[in-house]
């Protein structure tokens, strides 16, 4: 198993809280991480119908078998357990007793924050980061950028050397056929699938729900409900805009990304790395890749402060604003492999309009050779392949 960058934080929080909750997309490695950190803890999956029935029908009797604690996997299948866990950890608040894994936020995360407030740390584990994947497969470092984006970052693909298209197709089929049926009422699955593919066609763009609803043939309210569903089930991430009191001059729609860029490629019908690099959405897919790397970095440090983008009404834009010491690191993302002056216009405008908000600025681009410019450094995407030198950080409760 490749060491996950979030593991030191996970271990630290398990020494401080009686419960640690790992949430994130299905197949992002939550179970593997929990079992590697706590190999001697009993492991129970609520995916097993018999186990789930026992937990739902007799939660006290079920938990009585784990007085010393356990790893309870996919606990969203029996969300009532969190209320009974509260009494157990209040009676015995030994740190690290229980590890809960959650693949969907839905009602369960509300239950966790209400029933276990102050008793649990909540960590978000996304699929592999580029640095983690480079550790797993050093040969991957020499692969072209398009291959990284095409394959995505779900651990199972890389652990077992599987075909990305096959795995991602199965992943999406499982999500639609099992998870949606179990967790919400999507009556028209064919139309929902069309809606998700339309979202993939808008990767890196401002969300326009009216347009999505019209193209999918559904009402605006249905489109909103489905977008909420995609967010809470870790398929889609909406990056909010940053604005101040002068927000009337700024764009306020969020930008759409997928938690895994490989899944976005699959939904677009791209079945090879060559197709990805030639696709009209190449720039949006590269932007998706970089934004998700930044989000993984935040989560791996236990940071909850959201990331933003900036765009004013005249079209000046900075793709990513990362909160840093009360200000922002501004990052422009360009898929091109050749640096040109246009790469810096958004940064220059942001610095001019909001000088007090700018901590630093840089460009991440699709080329291999960065440039140490004095004003706006240019970084190759390959800098992401080096693990960040994390200091010990505090988690979230």
181-212 confidence digits (pLDDT tens)? 665 667 788 899 999 999 999 999 999 999 99
Position 113 scores a pLDDT of 58
Instruction: Tell me phi and psi for residue 395, to 5 degrees.
Output: -95, -165
How far apart are the C-alpha atoms of 102 and 22, rounded to whole Å?
A: 6
Q: How far is CA 48 from CA 75, 107, 247, 393, in A?
A: 11, 20, 50, 36
7-124 adopts what CATH topology? Rossmann fold (3.40.50)
Residue 104 and residue 234 in contact, taking contact as beta carbons nearer than 8 Å: yes
Instruction: Tell me phi and psi for residue 234, to 5 degrees.
Output: 60, 40
Tell me which residue has tokens 């938990």: 63
Segment 301-344, tens digit of pLDDT? 999 889 999 998 888 999 999 999 889 999 999 999 999 999 99
Q: Give the three-state DSSP class for 308.
A: strand
Whether pLDDT at 396 is above 60: no
Residue 103 and residue 234 in contact, taking contact as beta carbons nearer than 8 Å: yes
How many residues comprise the chain? 397
Q: How far is CA 56 from CA 78, 102, 113, 144, in A?
A: 6, 16, 20, 49
Please give the average per-residue pLDDT across 46-61, as a whole number.
96
Beta-carbon contacts of 33 under 8 Å, excluding residues fewer than 6 positions away, are 4, 6, 7, 10, 22, 125
Whether pLDDT at 180 is above 80: no
- Round the CA-based radius of gyration of the chain to a whole number and report it: 22
> Helix H segments across the chain?
7-14, 30-37, 49-57, 59-64, 81-91, 106-115, 130-136, 145-151, 155-159, 164-174, 180-183, 189-200, 209-216, 220-232, 261-267, 273-278, 282-300, 345-353
How far apart are the C-alpha atoms of 192 and 29, rounded to whole Å?
A: 27
Segment 292-305, tens digit of pLDDT? 999 999 999 999 88
Position 188 scores a pLDDT of 84
Whether pLDDT at 112 is above 90: no
Beta-carbon contacts of 261 under 8 Å, excluding residues fewer than 6 positions away, are 149, 152, 153, 285, 288, 289, 292
Share of residues in the chain with pLDDT > 90 (%): 77
Share of residues in the chain with pLDDT > 70 (%): 92
Residue 74 and residue 104 in contact, taking contact as beta carbons nearer than 8 Å: no
pTM: 0.93
How far apart are the C-alpha atoms of 147 and 133, rounded to whole Å?
A: 13
Whether pLDDT at 101 is above 90: yes
């Amino acid at each position: 198993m490749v060491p996950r960058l979030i593991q030191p934080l996970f271990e630290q929080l398990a020494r401080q809280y009686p419960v640690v909750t790992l949430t994130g997309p299905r197949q992002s490695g939550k179970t593997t991480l929990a079992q590697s950190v706590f190999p001697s803890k009993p492991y129970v999956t609520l995916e097993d119908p018999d186990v789930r029935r026992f937990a739902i029908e007799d939660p006290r009797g079920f938990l009585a078998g784990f007085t010393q604690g356990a790893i309870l996997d996919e606990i969203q299948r029996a969300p009532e357990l969190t209320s009974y866990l509260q009494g157990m950890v209040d009676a015995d608040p030994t740190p690290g007793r229980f590890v809960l894994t959650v693949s969907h936020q839905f009602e369960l995360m509300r239950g966790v924050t209400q029933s276990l407030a102050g008793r649990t740390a909540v960590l978000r584990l996304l699929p592999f980061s580029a640095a983690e994947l480079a550790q797993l497969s050093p040969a991957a470092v020499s692969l072209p950028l398009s291959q990284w984006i095409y394959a995505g970052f779900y651990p199972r693909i890389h652990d077992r050397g599987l075909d990305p298209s096959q795995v991602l197709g199965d992943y999406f089929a499982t999500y639609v056929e099992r998870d949606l049926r179990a967790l919400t009422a999507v009556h028209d699955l064919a139309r929902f699938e069309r809606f998700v593919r339309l979202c993939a066609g808008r990767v890196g763009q401002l969300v326009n729900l009216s347009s999505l609803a019209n193209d999918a043939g559904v009402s605006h309210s249905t489109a909103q409900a489905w977008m909420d569903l995609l967010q809470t089930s870790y398929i889609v991430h909406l990056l909010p805009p940053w604005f101040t009191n002068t927000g009337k001059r700024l764009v306020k729609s969020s930008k759409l990304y997928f938690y895994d860029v490989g899944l976005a490629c699959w939904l677009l019908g791209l079945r090879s790395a060559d197709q990805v690099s030639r696709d009209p959405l190449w720039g949006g897919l590269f932007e998706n890749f970089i934004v998700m790397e930044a989000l993984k970095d935040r989560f791996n440090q236990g940071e909850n402060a959201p990331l933003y983008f900036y765009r004013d009404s005249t079209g000046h834009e900075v793709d990513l604003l990362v909160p840093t010491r009360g200000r922002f690191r501004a990052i422009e993302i360009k898929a091109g492999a050749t640096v040109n002056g246009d790469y810096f216009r958004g940064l220059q405008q942001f610095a001019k309009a909001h000088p007090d908000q700018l901590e630093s600025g840089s460009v991440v681009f699709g080329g291999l050779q960065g440039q140490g410019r004095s004003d706006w450094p240019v970084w190759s995407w390959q800098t992401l392949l080096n693990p960040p030198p994390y200091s010990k950080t505090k988690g979230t409760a």
